[in-house]
């Protein structure tokens, strides 16, 4: 587990850039996928739940996962305070399983996939958890040289769009599209983010 996120959880939302990023990404998802108030949504690697908060008025029941206990505590506090209505917080790792016997209409994720070593396993889990025709929306870093996290970090150095599209198609997803979404400004550069959207395999 990445304990660093436990330590950062309590002050995560103090950064207006993270809130702005979640709002911009939610706008991009709204443009890419028709949302409706019956949709069952799963967000993995949800952190403090900022993306789901930004989508909350447009979808149905939401489920948030994160492997960081600190992040989950922040989300539980938001649920208790009414900031995340009709929401539940799960301690599951989609790369490890076991998967719950539940199905969803939309799975979203923001800046989490590059922290997960076995991306094939996560994508396969999402394919299982989505009902046929359900959609996956992943927002993450385009391929970079490692300077986003520092060159010694073990996390993925972003993702090549062609390779990610092939990975989604290999898992049975169809109608894969990957487009520009947002960017993160740092002192050492500007890091573009993509939005990958795909449709779950039919049964």
Ligand X SMILES: C[S@@+](CC[C@H](N)C(=O)[O-])C[C@H]1O[C@@H](n2cnc3c(N)ncnc32)[C@H](O)[C@@H]1O
Within 8 A by CB and 6+ apart from 177, the residues are: 32, 196, 197, 198
Q: Which of residues 76-95 bind ligand X (CB under 6 A)?
A: 93-95
The conformational region for residue 91 under phi > 0 = left, psi -120 to 50 = alpha, else beta, is: beta
Number of residues that bind ligand X (CB under 6 A): 22
Beta carbon nearer to ligand X, 58 or 119? 119
**For 114, which DSSP code?**
G
Within 8 A by CB and 6+ apart from 8, the residues are: 70
Residues 116-155, one symbol each (x = binds ligand X by CB under 6 A, - = not), give x---------------------------------------
CA pair distance 132, 108, nearest whole angstrom = 16
Beta carbon nearer to ligand X, 38 or 188? 188
CA pair distance 72, 47, nearest whole angstrom = 7
Q: Which of residues 25-64 bind ligand X (CB under 6 A)?
A: 44-47, 50-51
Is residue 66 a contact residue for ligand X (CB under 6 A)? yes
Per CB under 6 A, residues contacting ligand X are 2, 5, 18, 44-47, 50-51, 65-68, 71, 93-95, 110-112, 115-116
């Amino acid at each position: 587990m990445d304990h660093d996120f436990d330590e950062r959880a309590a002050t995560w939302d103090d950064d207006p850039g993270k809130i702005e990023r979640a709002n911009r990404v939610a706008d991009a998802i709204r443009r890419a996928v028709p949302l409706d108030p019956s949709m069952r949504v799963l967000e993995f690697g949800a952190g403090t739940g900022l993306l789901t908060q930004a989508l909350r008025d447009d979808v149905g029941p939401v489920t948030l996962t994160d492997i960081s206990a600190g992040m989950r505590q922040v989300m539980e506090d938001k649920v208790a305070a009414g900031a995340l209505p009709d929401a539940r917080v799960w301690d599951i790792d989609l790369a490890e399983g076991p998967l719950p016997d539940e199905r969803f209409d939309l799975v979203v994720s923001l800046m989490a996939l590059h922290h997960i070593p076995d991306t094939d396993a996560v994508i396969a889990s999402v394919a299982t958890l989505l009902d046929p025709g359900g959609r996956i929306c992943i927002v993450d870093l385009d391929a970079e040289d490692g300077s986003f996290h520092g060159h010694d970090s073990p996390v993925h150095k972003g993702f090549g769009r062609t390779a990610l599209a092939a990975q989604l198609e290999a898992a049975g997803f169809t109608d894969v599209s990957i487009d520009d979404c947002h960017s993160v400004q740092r002192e050492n550069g500007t890091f573009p983010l993509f939005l990958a959207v795909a449709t779950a395999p039919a049964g």
